Chains A and B, each alone.
Chain A
């Protein structure tokens, strides 16, 4: 709570000071509640102090994820990856290294593949995000998902959502014209099981089959 109030909270300086005082008063109250008899514990179990802190520390965000518009409040420091997994419970997108080195968190933002772990959600106002959960049409899998299964493009599966999101983008970008080009443009997705050969097979099959229109 050391940070100054943000203008993005759309509070004037006076209001934000008032809110901060309010918060400090209430958080003091809840500290007292922690020491209070059980009948009073209900309030703190409802985490009101945390909710107040959350309101003060967050910025509003409107974002479309897999075709569904979401009106949310996020901390400025929340990454898109954490937003997807922790707030929207879309755990298909994986947190591998969390430092932009493995590609497991690859998603599409406005049609482009990016690393969600290095993307601040608060900078994605009105963005359209597609995750691995958004690929299938009902029970019908996306052609790239089918191809990964058919070609055995994984072992443990942890990197697979990122590989599939990246593989689709690789074709759409026009970088899947040879095995060498696929390997180069998929190099941001690490597979520690070493399923690379089969991943290239899967992408090649989808590309050559013209399955992405």
Chain B
């Protein structure tokens, strides 16, 4: 690993100003992804700004919303009693990600900023448009079992690896950020982006902005929810496909619903059309199957990952079935 300077920020304002002027400077919190990427020489910052001393760790239940500090640990959120009651989908998704050791280290903000686990991105001997723009994509026509079936481009078919983000996308969360130009809010579903011709950009953060918190509006998704994660082993593996399903059911009728998928796109993939279809319908497997078919419109495989075209809709039906029967 290339050596670097490290400084400790004592306020979010000083953290932002510490890196604003330096091109090769980055924030570090849990470090579970960044340190790994630095060891592999995928990223090589000259300077790290340690933000772990900032006061951004609180989970707060405010009027109309829940606010989770960017530095709250993944395990802290997953095991918070009130989060489990109010937002069980988020708690489930967090518990499905990584291992307990990593959840103790990883922060909410860092989870959002983790890079793809595409093996071509990690292997500096291989072409990768995300790592080195215009160098080509090894995964297209290569080994692409883990890769995207939605929203990919000729430049990149990588997927965002987070579980937590799938739940947050489903729950209409917003992201609070602070940058050199001040504070702003980004809709969670607009935070991550599709690769297009610039896959080096994972998200819509600008100019070294710092994530300060994530907010979830109050909802009625405290009971009929499920996070289904399909993976190569039963724990501690990235999703082949995951489905976050949240239903508000009364008298067997679907009042409201949120659906999102992980492991299928460059960003958490919200299934708006399927949601609209399900609203007002009576719970049944037939309806779930029809919703799943709607959700898969526009999906395409790249060879090794063709199985996701079948696994995807089956996972949606399974997640909805489990969620509705709770």
Contact = CB atoms under 8 A, between A and B. Distances in A.
Nearest to B18: A7
B31 A7 contact: no
Nearest to B98: A188
Nearest to A79: B35
B39 to A, nearest CB: 7
A57 B2 CA distance: 12
Given A75-B3, A76-B4, A123-B28, A4 B46 contact: yes
Interface residues of A, number: 38
Contacts of A184: 235
Given A6-B7, A119-B105, A184-B235, A98 B100 contact: no
Interface residues of B, number: 30
Interface string A99-139: 11001001000001111001110110100000000000000
Interface string B39-58: 11000001010101000000
A100 B3 contact: no
Given A118-B36, A120-B35, A187-B236, A106 B5 contact: no
A123 B50 CA distance: 7
B134 interface: no
B99 interface: yes
Interface in A176-208: 183-185, 187-189
Interface string A158-171: 00000000100110
B236 A123 contact: no
Given A3-B46, A6-B6, A76-B3, A114 B98 contact: no
Contacts of A99: 36, 39-40
Contact of A8 (B5, B40, B46, B52): B5
Contacts of B31: 118-120, 123
B32 interface: yes
Contacts, number: 95
Given A4-B46, A187-B99, A100 B6 contact: no
A101 to B, nearest CB: 9
B23 interface: no
Interface string B1-26: 11111111000000000000000000
Contact of A114 (B5, B39, B48, B104): B104
A173 interface: yes
B10 to A, nearest CB: 13
A123 B46 CA distance: 16
B105 A6 contact: no
B6 A122 contact: yes
Nearest to A97: B36
B101 interface: yes
B283 interface: no
19 contacts: A3-B4, A3-B46, A5-B5, A6-B7, A59-B6, A76-B48, A99-B39, A118-B31, A118-B32, A119-B35, A120-B6, A120-B35, A125-B8, A166-B101, A170-B100, A187-B234, A188-B100, A188-B236, A189-B99
Interface of A: 3-8, 57, 59, 75-77, 79, 98-100, 103, 106, 112-115, 118-120, 122-123, 125, 166, 169-170, 173, 175, 183-185, 187-189
Given A118-B35, A187-B236, 13 more contacts: A4-B5, A8-B6, A77-B3, A113-B101, A115-B102, A118-B32, A118-B36, A118-B102, A120-B6, A123-B52, A173-B100, A183-B235, A188-B100
Q: Which are the 3 A-B pairs with shortest beta-carbon distances? A: A188-B99, A187-B235, A6-B5
